[in-house]
Structure 1
Amino acid sequence: MAEIDRNAHKGQPPVRTMYMAVDDQDNLPFELLRNISRIGLAFNNDDLGNEAAQVVQEMLPQAKRIAPKGLSWNEVFVRERQQQQEMLEQKQRGRGFSR
C-alpha cells in the first residue's frame, strides 16, 4: 500500500501517512491509534479482510476502508509493476533499444 501510494503521488503522499501491517486486528494499539485523525485500512478484499476492517472501524471510527481492486493489495502492486515494466520496454523499443 505504501509503495502504491508513493508511486501514485510521484514521491511523498500529500498528507503525512503512517502505514502499519497487522496480522491480528484484536491486538492493535488502539490507545495510540485513537489520536490519529486519518487511518486507511488496507485489508484484503475477502471475507477475512472485510471482517477485520469492520472490527477496526468499530474501534476507530475515523478509519476508512481502502479495498483493493482485486483480491489483495499485493496483486495490485504486482499488476502495476508489470504494467510499468511493459511501458518501459515499449519506450526502449521505440528508441531502437532491444534485448
Structure 2
Amino acid sequence: MKELYHSGGINTRIFTRTIKGEGGVRAMTIPTMKTIREASNATGISYDRIRKLCLQGKIVHIRMGTKILVNMEKFVEYLNRGDGGDGANEADNPIP
C-alpha cells in the first residue's frame, strides 16, 4: 500500500492511497473536507452564503453531527463553473 500527500490548491492536501487487491491496483482519493467557517476563510465567501449553498444542495457537503463539512475540491469546481441554475449570472442582476 502506497500513501501520498499532494497539494490540492487553496492550502489543501489530497490524500491518495494505492490499494492492491483482487481487481488490480486502484487509487483512492480522499476529498478535503472543511467546515463552512474554514471554507469561508479560504475563499473569502461569506459563511452565510456557503451555508445557503449547502442547504440548497448546490455544493457537495456532509453533516457530521451539527457541523456541515464542505468538499473543497467540488466547491472550487462549483465556483469555477458558476451557478448553472437558470443560466443567469448574479453579476447580470445587480441588487437595486
TM-score bin, normalised by smaller chain: under 0.3
More strand by share: 2
Which TM-score applies when normalising by structure 1? 0.26
In our comparison, the structure showing a higher alpha carbon Rg is 1
